[in-house]
């Protein structure tokens, strides 16, 4: 089961598939459409201060669809992690447009 709260907290049953449409909104409210030269990535850490992410997924700029597959979460322990989503633009500008949000892995019944 996938649930996304208004504060961007993601709750996902371990081993489930999640497809999340990602949108980048500028401060003025306009939507930024990434180019092929931009790079968008989703990163998950147990603690935000950890050096290396436990999960790193590239988000295709052509679709802006984040796909979390069963194999991405099957080895993670149940519990609360932290995630962010960052874009690196063609000119080298980096913007973490979703920052330090909770990513909660919940138990499956089977």
The class level of CATH for 2-106 reads mainly beta
The structure tokens 């993670």 sit at 76
For residues 10 and 103, is the Cβ–Cβ distance under 8 A? yes
Structure tokens at 39: 């790079």
Q: What is the pTM for the complete model shown?
A: 0.92
Please count the CA atoms within 13 angstroms of the CA of 41 that sit on its side-chain side. 11
Residue 13: both structure tokens together: 């049953």
Q: How confident is the model at residue 110 (pLDDT cuts 50, 70, 90)?
A: low
- Summarised one tens digit per residue, pLDDT across range 10-65 is 999 999 999 999 999 988 989 999 999 999 999 999 998 999 999 999 999 999 99
Ranges of each domain in the chain: 2-106
Which of the 8 DSSP states describes residue 78?
S
Residue 24 near residue 34, CB atoms below 8 Å:
yes
């Amino acid at each position: 089961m996938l649930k996304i709260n208004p504060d961007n907290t993601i709750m996902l049953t371990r081993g489930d598939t999640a497809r999340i449409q990602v949108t980048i909104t500028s401060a003025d409210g306009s939507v930024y459409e990434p180019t092929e030269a931009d790079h968008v990535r989703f990163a998950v850490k147990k603690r935000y201060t950890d050096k290396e992410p436990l999960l790193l997924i590239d988000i295709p700029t052509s679709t802006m669809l984040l796909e979390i597959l069963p194999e991405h979460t099957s080895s993670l322990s149940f519990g609360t992690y932290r995630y962010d989503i960052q874009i690196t633009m063609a000119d080298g500008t980096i913007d973490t447009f979703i920052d330090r949000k909770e990513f909660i892995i919940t138990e499956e019944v089977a």
